[in-house]
Structure 1
Amino acid sequence: MTKTDFAAWSWTAGAGIDGLQLVRKPLQQPGPGEVLVANRAIALNPVDWKIIEWGHAAWKTGHVPGVDGMGVVVAAGTGVTIKPGTRVAYHQALDRAGSFAEFCVLDAATVMQVPSGLDDAAAAALPCPGLTAWQALEKVPGTSRDVLVVGAGGAVGLLLAQLAVQRGLRVWATAGAAHHAQLKALGVVGVFDYRDAHWQPALQAALGERRLHAVFDTVSGTHAASLAPMVGYNGHLVCIQDRQESAPLPAFSTAISLHEVALNSFHAHAGLSDRQALRQQGERLLHSVLDGSLLTSRHQAFDFDALPQALHALKQGTGSGKWVARLAD
């Protein structure tokens, strides 16, 4: 029997997480340059609950949210070389029907092939945090310098800290005490508890005469601005949440560079070479997860039918790890 519809979570304008409804949607075939993917796993990210609650200029009632997923290509549009049966992971554009569904239509140029042997849930959990971490690190040149990853216990921060260590940077981090031993085992030089009011002077004492070449902040633009004085001359302040709307330091002082990380923007603004680079790096990260050279956050499983409850838990910070749901084949 040919499938004509599928289950999906539908957004209602102004109703937030509690307004999500599980509905049936008509199954559409992919257009030129697109693939239709049958989802096997979906992963939640903070951006999901934020946009569901805040709304999006391109969303109307009935929109399907969700940015991260993994599945199997079941149909391909004209001009697509990816064959049906290929396992892929993806980060969907916010303005397109998303991953919170049994099926998803995607831009074929952006999907990442999943290596054989990598678990479905592990693949679904990687795109948003992994590509965000990679983009953040690309903002900063050089090796053998001191950098700080703020929030290294989270999904993005954990990956970013490892990638920075692997590049040859001296990595310092802030995280809850439960994450300190793991981060040090992964090569982080020193970890500070962000709840300790004296962590900044303790870090500066550990650095001695050196200054930080870069700070990667995963909290907020305001929090990042408060850390700007810790960055040394010609250093870098990288905002993974928000951005700096005004310079946090006086002109002609330490002359730091300000960086914005906005993964979703690549869907609308990246050129072909940018998309190819992002896909290649995503596939490299997937292989690193498979071979064990890149450790990801532990998974917190939830049922697809209980997706709103999982979003509430993510928002409230309850549970631990990356929220991932598996779907039936």
Structure 2
Amino acid sequence: MPVDYAAWCFTPGQGLAGLKLGRKPLGEPGPGEVLVANRAIALNPVDWKMIDWGRPDWGNGQVPGVDAVAEIVACGAGVTLEPGTRVAYHQSLARDGSFAEYALLDSRALLRVPAGLGDRFAAAFPCPGLTAWQALEKVPLEAPRDVLVTGAGGAVGLYLVQLAVARGARVWATASPAHHDALRGLGVVEVFDYHASEWRQTLQRQLGQRRLHAVFDTVSGQHAASLASLLGYNGHLVCIQDRQDQAPLAPFTTAISLHEVALNSIHGHGSDSDWQALRQAGERLLEDLAAGRLQPPQLHAFDFEALPAALGELKRNARSGKWVTQLTR
């Protein structure tokens, strides 16, 4: 076991330019914790946002990153998983993260990875896949109901449309034209180009007398609020990139429910039963990925040494899909 390890370290106030590849001492897992050796690391928009914006609890040398697949190398007291187990995880933003060769984790956050699923696909799953599952869990879906997923060309939207279709919903979506055929192939009723000024009116015409039961918005709180009028009585507005601080519609009209989605918050506020539900759902979805029942986003490879540049590409939204690096030892 090494005494230290390579990690990308944060410098307050310097954004992506302040990410420096350094070395940190290897810690030992405490009760309920595991030490893992990362095998593949995936990037998410939250990564560059936290690096650009900073956090009050991040000091010099903080390791960013939330998603990876890894092998357990040591376990603290009370952990039932065995060293050598391959796991995927979503790390708390309050702890040193996944942009490193090793990480210390709360064992409740670990998802066992099925043998048939490759490291890169498993690493790219936790943040978007678990977020999509949480978003869908907000809404009662008695089939068939009409739901809209905005930004369905992104990783969260891609998982969301598949999970909603599997539950029997009639799914409508917005995405750039490059994604339309693939989304229709996954069972989406119709996909609209969000650049088209009349797409809302076209959707309503196609719905006829029906109204949307739910809107899952992956764009922004402001964008979500602009879609609230498409919802029917007792509908659901689910914000994934933001939240609604005030009701977007007049009171005592359609009586919609407002939902926020905050995957990272489970680390500070989740009970053991919350973790169990998340873990069971995550492992079931990883099995679906391995069996081909769930389609992953396109992967883009990068070298670990080029991680800041890859984050920059993700920030510029140069390509859809997931950026993943495979670590070698």
Q: Judge same fold: TM > 0.5, yes or no.
A: yes
- Report what 1:85 is aligned to: 84
Decide whether the 8 Å contact of 1:300 with 1:320 is kept in 2: no
User: 5 Å matches for 1:175-214?
Assistant: 175-214=175-214
What SS is found at the alignment partner of 1:202?
Answer: helix
- Report what 2:111 is aligned to: 112
Task: Give the CA deviation at 1:319.
Answer: 2.9
Task: Give the CA deviation at 1:320.
Answer: 3.5
Q: After superposition, what is the alpha-carbon deviation per residue over 1:55-90, rounded to whole angstroms, capped at 9, x for unaligned? A: 112111110000001110000001111100000000
- Report what 1:70 is aligned to: 69
Decide whether the 8 Å contact of 2:153 with 2:320 is kept in 1: no
Decide whether the 8 Å contact of 1:90 with 1:127 is kept in 2: yes
- Segments of 4+ moved more than 2 angstroms: none
C-alpha distance in 1 between matches for 2:260 and 2:219? 13
Alignment pair present for 1:50 and 2:49: yes
Decide whether the 8 Å contact of 2:43 with 2:65 is kept in 1: yes
C-alpha distance in 1 between matches for 2:202 and 2:116? 43
What SS is found at the alignment partner of 2:61?
Answer: coil
- Report what 1:261 is aligned to: 261
What SS is found at the alignment partner of 2:96?
Answer: coil
Task: Give the CA deviation at 1:233.
Answer: 0.7
Q: After superposition, what is the alpha-carbon deviation per residue over 1:191-243, rounded to whole angstroms, capped at 9, x for unaligned? A: 10001111000000000000000000000000000000011110000000110
Deviates more, 1:139-148 or 1:159-168: 139-148
Decide whether the 8 Å contact of 1:41 with 1:71 is kept in 2: yes
C-alpha distance in 1 between matches for 2:246 and 2:78? 44
C-alpha distance in 2 between matches for 1:203 and 1:109? 42
- Report what 1:282 is aligned to: 282
- Report what 2:233 is aligned to: 233
C-alpha distance in 1 between matches for 2:292 and 2:57? 39
Identify unmatched segments of 5+ residues in structure 1: none
C-alpha distance in 2 between matches for 1:295 and 1:195? 26
- Report what 1:61 is aligned to: 60
Decide whether the 8 Å contact of 1:301 with 1:323 is kept in 2: yes
Decide whether the 8 Å contact of 1:114 with 1:283 is kept in 2: yes
Decide whether the 8 Å contact of 1:34 with 1:76 is kept in 2: yes
- Report what 1:132 is aligned to: 131
What SS is found at the alignment partner of 2:227?
Answer: helix
* Letter aligned with residue 121 of structure 2: A
What SS is found at the alignment partner of 1:195?
Answer: coil
Q: CA RMSD in A?
A: 0.6
* Letter aligned with residue 35 of structure 1: V
C-alpha distance in 2 between matches for 1:40 and 1:129? 19
* Letter aligned with residue 139 of structure 2: V
C-alpha distance in 2 between matches for 1:46 and 1:321? 11
What SS is found at the alignment partner of 1:132?
Answer: helix
Identify unmatched segments of 5+ residues in structure 2: none
* Letter aligned with residue 185 of structure 2: A
What SS is found at the alignment partner of 1:296?
Answer: coil
What SS is found at the alignment partner of 1:36?
Answer: strand
C-alpha distance in 1 between matches for 2:175 and 2:278? 28
C-alpha distance in 2 between matches for 1:303 and 1:132? 26
Decide whether the 8 Å contact of 1:10 with 1:23 is kept in 2: yes
- Report what 1:216 is aligned to: 216
Decide whether the 8 Å contact of 1:158 with 1:297 is kept in 2: yes
- Report what 1:122 is aligned to: 121
C-alpha distance in 2 between matches for 1:246 and 1:53? 27
* Letter aligned with residue 86 of structure 1: T
Task: Give the CA deviation at 1:305.
Answer: 0.3
Task: Give the CA deviation at 1:117.
Answer: 1.8
C-alpha distance in 1 between matches for 2:140 and 2:77? 40
Alignment pair present for 1:309 and 2:309: yes
What SS is found at the alignment partner of 1:297?
Answer: coil
- Report what 2:247 is aligned to: 247
Task: Give the CA deviation at 1:108.
Answer: 0.5
* Letter aligned with residue 224 of structure 1: A
C-alpha distance in 1 between matches for 2:217 and 2:20? 34
